[in-house]
């Protein structure tokens, strides 16, 4: 880039010298032409300085543009990295939240299974108590029936004994 600027300055200098020679009039040493040549030399120097300043300004502008582009690329890379980091944090947070939800769901499932088992056990115990109670009632009923049967049998025996006692007391006549 620097050699191109030097080449541009050289072309401008050559053009300025040619312009000065054309203006001075290609030869002759007249007193007016010397002041004209001096003025042309000053003009040439001024043009040369302006050309150098313009070239330097253009180079500086080009350099600034490159720096802006580089800075823009760096900022874009930083934004991209920050977005990736944020995405990774969000993903990790989501994974943690999911793991926690899964753990809570398993815990609730285990609690529900424990409640079901406890309910089944309570039902079995209640059924066993009910069966035991029903068996006790059946045994009590059988006992009452047996007692009632015993009383009825005793009653029948007493009635039979009374009947027997009444039958025995009737005398029969010996005639016969």
DSSP-derived letter for residue 97 is H
Q: What is the pLDDT of residue 162?
A: 83
Q: What is the pLDDT of residue 146?
A: 92
What is the C-alpha separation between 128 and 101, in angstroms, rounded?
Answer: 40
What is the C-alpha separation between 14 and 120, in angstroms, rounded?
Answer: 110
Task: Indicate the average pLDDT of the chain.
Answer: 83
What is the C-alpha separation between 106 and 109, in angstroms, rounded?
Answer: 5
pTM surpassing 0.75? no
- Residue 159 pLDDT level (bands cut at 50, 70, 90): confident
3-class SS shares of the chain: helix, strand, coil, % to 5: 90, 0, 10
Phi/psi of residue 175, each to 5°? -85, 140
What is the C-alpha separation between 124 and 133, in angstroms, rounded?
Answer: 14
* pLDDT, tens digit, 9 for 90 and up, residues 99-115: 999 999 999 999 999 99
Q: Which residues contact 5 (CB under 8 A, 6 or more apart)?
A: 55, 56, 58, 59
Q: Are 30 and 17 in contact (CB under 8 A)?
A: no
């Amino acid at each position: 880039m620097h050699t191109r600027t030097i080449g541009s300055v050289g072309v401008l200098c050559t053009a300025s010298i040619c312009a000065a020679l054309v203006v001075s009039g290609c030869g002759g040493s007249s007193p007016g032409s010397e002041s004209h040549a001096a003025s042309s030399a000053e003009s040439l120097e001024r043009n040369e300085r302006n050309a150098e300043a313009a070239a330097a300004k253009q180079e500086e502008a080009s350099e600034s543009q490159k720096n802006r582009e580089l800075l823009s690329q760096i900022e874009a890379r930083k934004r991209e990295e920050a977005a990736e980091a944020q995405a990774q944090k969000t993903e990790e947070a989501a994974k943690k939240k999911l793991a926690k939800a899964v753990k809570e769901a398993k815990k609730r499932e285990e609690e529900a299974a424990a409640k079901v088992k406890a309910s089944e056990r309570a039902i079995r115990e209640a059924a066993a108590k009910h069966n035991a109670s029903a068996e006790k009632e059946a045994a009590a009923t059988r006992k009452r029936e047996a007692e009632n049967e015993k009383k009825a049998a005793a009653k029948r025996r007493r009635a039979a004994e009374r009947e027997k006692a009444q039958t025995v007391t009737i005398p029969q006549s010996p005639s016969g």
